[in-house]
Structure 1
Amino acid sequence: MPEFTAETLPVRQLYRVSEVMLLLSLSRSVIYELIRSGRLGSVTEGRTRLIPATAISRYIDLLTAEAKDADYGQSA
């Protein structure tokens, strides 16, 4: 299997957990915790856990919205 970095990862519809770790700069245990908590969507094909590209985008949107909410909560 070739070595990938976040910059060289091919754009696809489904990513393995190890690839999402690179994309989001998070550990394997954090990725699985996000999946368990429902913050990051995933699908299973056989015994392989895959994360749809749309789920990654939704997770990033969620983080952005939470950051905006936190900024609005800090009024001067």
Structure 2
Amino acid sequence: MRGGHLAEAKLLTVPEVMAALRLGRWKVYDLIRSGELESVTVGRARRVPADALDRFISQLREDAA
């Protein structure tokens, strides 16, 4: 995200999620389609709530433990 304010954003773009997770576009959209990663539509734009990204990462950690 521009200016390094990723933690301050409430809604993240797919490219921001890609950067945060270090995953490709198709994988991020697969996670969204499968319901593993929550997203919302704002007009025609797809956004991922920052807290949904945090929950997804927490779930990955729990699954790995």
Structure 2 unaligned segments of length 5 or more: list them: none
Q: TM-score of the superposition, structure 1-length normalised? A: 0.77
Query: Which runs of structure 1 show a deviation greater than 3 angstroms over 4 or more consecutive aligned residues?
Result: none
How far did residue 47 of structure 1 move?
0.6
Q: TM-score of the superposition, structure 2-length normalised? A: 0.89
Higher helix content, 1 or 2: 2
Q: Percent sequence identity over matched residues?
A: 44
Q: For each residue in 1:10-49, what CA deviation from the matched residue of structure 2 results, as whole angstroms up to 9, or x when unmatched?
A: 1210000011101110100000000011110000001100
- 1:64 — aligned with what? 61
**Number of aligned residue pairs:** 63
Amino acid across the alignment from 1:33 = D
Please point out which of 4, 7, 12 is paired with 1:9. Answer: 4
Does 2:39 correspond to 1:42? yes
Structure 1 unaligned segments of length 5 or more: list them: 69-76
- With CA pairs under 8 Å and 6+ residues apart, which has the higher RCO, 1 or 2? 2
Q: Which structure is larger by alpha-carbon Rg, 1 or 2?
A: 1
Question: What is the distance in 2 between the residues matched to 1:28 and 1:9?
Answer: 20
- Match of 2:48, SS? strand
When the two chains are superposed, the root-mean-square deviation of aligned CA atoms in Å is: 1.4
